[in-house]
Amino acid sequence: MKNKKVYRVRAKSLDSQGRGVVSFNHSMIPVPGLLPGELAQIVLYRKGDETLGRILSIVEKSGERAEAVCSWSQKCGGCQLWSLNYEAQLKFKQEQVARLFNTVKNVGSVLGMDDFAGYRHKVHASFGRDGKGRIIAGIYEEHSHRILPVTDCRIQDPRANAIIEEICREMEEYKIQPYDEDTGRGMLRHVLIRSGYKTGQIMVVFVVATLNFPKGAVLGKNLRKKFPDIRTIVYNQNNKKTSMVLGKDQETIFGPGYIEDELCGMTFQISPKSFYQVNPKQAEVLYTKAMEMAKLTKQDRVLDTYCGTGTITLIAAKYAGEVTGVELNRSAVEDARINAGKNHMDHVTFVCADAARYMEQAQAVSSRYSVVIMDPPRSGSNPVFLNALGKMKPDRIIYISCNPATQKRDVDFLKRYGYRIDALQPVDMFPVTAEIENIALLRRGREKHK
């Protein structure tokens, strides 16, 4: 910390990203990890075009500070709420939802987890070398191209952490080179590990420079011996300059090319490119709550848009008369159709299409659904979808979102069609991060105001 001036500051509040905010020379400076009321010594630094504070020491601690803290937290950036204890994390999320939807009265208490250790069942690591030339794997440090060898991440499935460590060891032994994005040399770029929560099955996807990876045979064999839960191994080729992990071409080299997991008493097959909730334990809580709010009966015709591998679609089919799932990703739709068969659901149809286009067509032929479920990506939905939805006039809309800001924008849009929020239910799908999952039940009529 040469020549860096040290300041003594007190945090006033948390911003929407969960960072402590201090007032400094007439401006507000975010200090990651600092909690409201805490007094600390900090230095200032620039990150991108933002000025931030870095904690040197905390002079007065908050009662909301977490006891166990990950040693990577200051650098990693993956867990924004690392310094808050779990109760305070839930309070933070509750307040965010209440502030954003400030006119809605009926907001349920955020549903948290009893134990969130190892909740991430989808884990990704990139390969590289450290300063001494040793092979390392981990995530990229925020806003940089440096790999942080976080092999003990506490929110990742510990089996995935152990597999990643073993891969690094084997790479040294068999001289498998990490892929270098700048030169295009080397072989192994990333690994993606997915694991079933109920079944324990593990999928290992090696992201390689070329599918011709002879040393992969011994690597795969050794891994399977050490980790017998590995059900399938896939090579995926990605030699493009991109931040996307997976490329287009892939080949299954061991097992069926997918794993299975169970949610709400049903079995789901998941392929490498299909979406599956990273926190399956809490996905069960989310889906159960969504079904409770939808109050489906055999009289209902349900449309589940952005349906992925058909998880919500098939769970809804337990209660509804007829369900249609719409999804853009072909591999997810293939999984969804197989999942319908696996669970003996014959009153379910899956359509591979852009959700907005499907909605427009369905609305034009006056295909009426009594309930529409939507679970779009972070960016939310779009006016084409929402206009068609409004004109379709379903009795209830269940909007599940991992980004309440875009959810709010879309719900506001639907007001012109008379839809109002009947109930909101936040669910903590991503403990220790600032991410918030939120279910909204919409009906036509008056919003229940405070």
List residues binding ligand SAH (CB under 6 A).
Answer: 275, 277, 306-308, 311-312, 326-329, 332, 354-355, 375-377
CB contact at 8 A, 204 and 191: yes
Alpha carbons 112 and 81: distance in angstroms, whole number = 14
343 is written with which tokens? 């669970």
CB closer to ligand SAH, 127 vs 275: 275
CB of 335 to ligand SAH, least distance (A): 10
Alpha carbons 129 and 137: distance in angstroms, whole number = 8
Bridge partners, 371 (sequence order): 302, 396
CB closer to ligand SAH, 186 vs 247: 247
Nearest residue relative to ligand SAH (C-beta)? 308
Helices (H), 247-299: 280-294
Alpha carbons 93 and 418: distance in angstroms, whole number = 28
CB closer to ligand SAH, 376 vs 431: 376
CB of 353 to ligand SAH, least distance (A): 7
CB of 170 to ligand SAH, least distance (A): 33
CB of 189 to ligand SAH, least distance (A): 23
Ligand-binding site membership of 375 (annotated): yes
CB of 268 to ligand SAH, least distance (A): 9
Q: Judge whether 76 counts as a catalytic residue.
A: no
Nearest to 133 by CA among 90, 171, 81, 84: 171
Alpha carbons 170 and 229: distance in angstroms, whole number = 18
Write down the catalytic residue from 76, 168, 307, 402. 402
Burial of 370-382, coded b for 16+ CB within 10 Å and e otherwise, reads bbbbbbbeeebbe
Alpha carbons 40 and 45: distance in angstroms, whole number = 15
Alpha carbons 177 and 183: distance in angstroms, whole number = 13
Ligand-binding site membership of 306 (annotated): yes
243 is written with which tokens? 């931040």
CB contact at 8 A, 419 and 396: no
What would you measure as the largest C-alpha separation in the chain, in angstroms?
71
Quick one: how far is CA 129 from the chain centroid? 28
DSSP letter assigned to residue 433: S
Ligand-binding site membership of 258 (annotated): no
Please name the amino acid found at residue 230.
I
Residue with tokens 């490498």: 272
CB of 373 to ligand SAH, least distance (A): 8
CB closer to ligand SAH, 83 vs 309: 309
Alpha carbons 406 and 402: distance in angstroms, whole number = 9
Strands 250-254 and 230-237, by their bridges, are antiparallel
Strands 322-327 and 348-352, by their bridges, are parallel
CB of 384 to ligand SAH, least distance (A): 10
CB of 326 to ligand SAH, least distance (A): 6
CB closer to ligand SAH, 20 vs 325: 325
Q: How many separate helices (H) and strands (E) can be counted in the chain?
A: 10, 21
CA-derived radius of gyration, the chain: 24
H or E stretch at 356: helix 355-364
Nearest to 391 by CA among 444, 353, 342, 346: 444
CB closer to ligand SAH, 62 vs 313: 313
CB closer to ligand SAH, 235 vs 275: 275
Alpha carbons 321 and 280: distance in angstroms, whole number = 26
Ligand-binding site membership of 95 (annotated): no
Positive/negative CA dihedral, 83, 377, 335, 248: negative
CB closer to ligand SAH, 127 vs 268: 268
**Which residues are annotated as part of the binding site?**
277, 306, 327, 375
**Which residues are annotated as part of the binding site for S-adenosyl-L-methionine?**
277, 306, 327, 375
Catalytic residues, which ones?
402
